Amino acid sequence: SPTTCVTPSTENIDGSLLRIAIIHTRWNYEIVESLVRGAKETMISHYNVKPENIIVQSVSGSFELPFAAKSVIQSSTLFHAVICIGVLIKGSTMHFEYISEAVSQGIMRVGLDTNVPVIFGVLTCLNDDQALERAGLGNTQEKHNHGIDWGHCAVEMAHKNIN
């Protein structure tokens, strides 16, 4: 579908030397878990990224993702890319808008400030069904696990980061 992330010719990237961090929220964990799985399995199966080189950490909610991404990048371990995964679902207040804006600006800033690519893997959905579909969990034809796209994107950006 036109909305699917069209991954450029990245199939010949050898990911065996890449180290990737995935930071995910515990909020909306059932959906987040599916997104994390999609990203991990894509990097391992398509690019031969070693499972032991995919470091997974969790935080409470999406608002914590930028801080955690920055601290993992500034740790003693070198990461070639970081994927931040969270799910924001609109409630009945403006909370969603404020967090979504802060998180997207924050995640972009960490990447630019640290020169380590940080992939924006935060679903900002108006309801549960939208989130389920985008994690490949819905029961409609539209379902597509966006974690897969984020795995492709992380390898492509990590590869650029090395070369």
Ligand X SMILES: O=c1[nH]c(NC[C@H](O)[C@H](O)[C@H](O)CO)c([N+](=O)[O-])c(=O)[nH]1
Residues that bind ligand X (CB under 6 A): 25, 27-28, 60-64, 86-89, 91, 95, 99
Which member of 24, 46, 95, 146 is catalytic? 95
**C-alpha span between 77 and 123 (Å, rounded):** 28
Instruction: Name the nearest CA neighbour of 149 among 16, 65, 39, 17.
Output: 39
The distance of closest approach from Cβ of residue 60 to ligand X in the complex, given in angstroms and rounded to an integer, is 4
Residue placing its CB nearer to ligand X in the complex, 62 or 145: 62
Residue placing its CB nearer to ligand X in the complex, 67 or 77: 67
Identify the helix (H) or strand (E) that includes residue 58: strand 54-59
The distance of closest approach from Cβ of residue 74 to ligand X in the complex, given in angstroms and rounded to an integer, is 20
Residue placing its CB nearer to ligand X in the complex, 27 or 47: 27
The distance of closest approach from Cβ of residue 79 to ligand X in the complex, given in angstroms and rounded to an integer, is 22
Residue 159 is among the residues annotated as catalytic for this protein: no
Three-state DSSP class for residue 20: strand
Which residue(s) pair with 122 in the sheet? 86
Instruction: Name the nearest CA neighbour of 69 among 123, 124, 121.
Output: 121
Q: Which two tokens stand for residue 67?
A: 């801080």
**Residues marked as catalytic:** 95
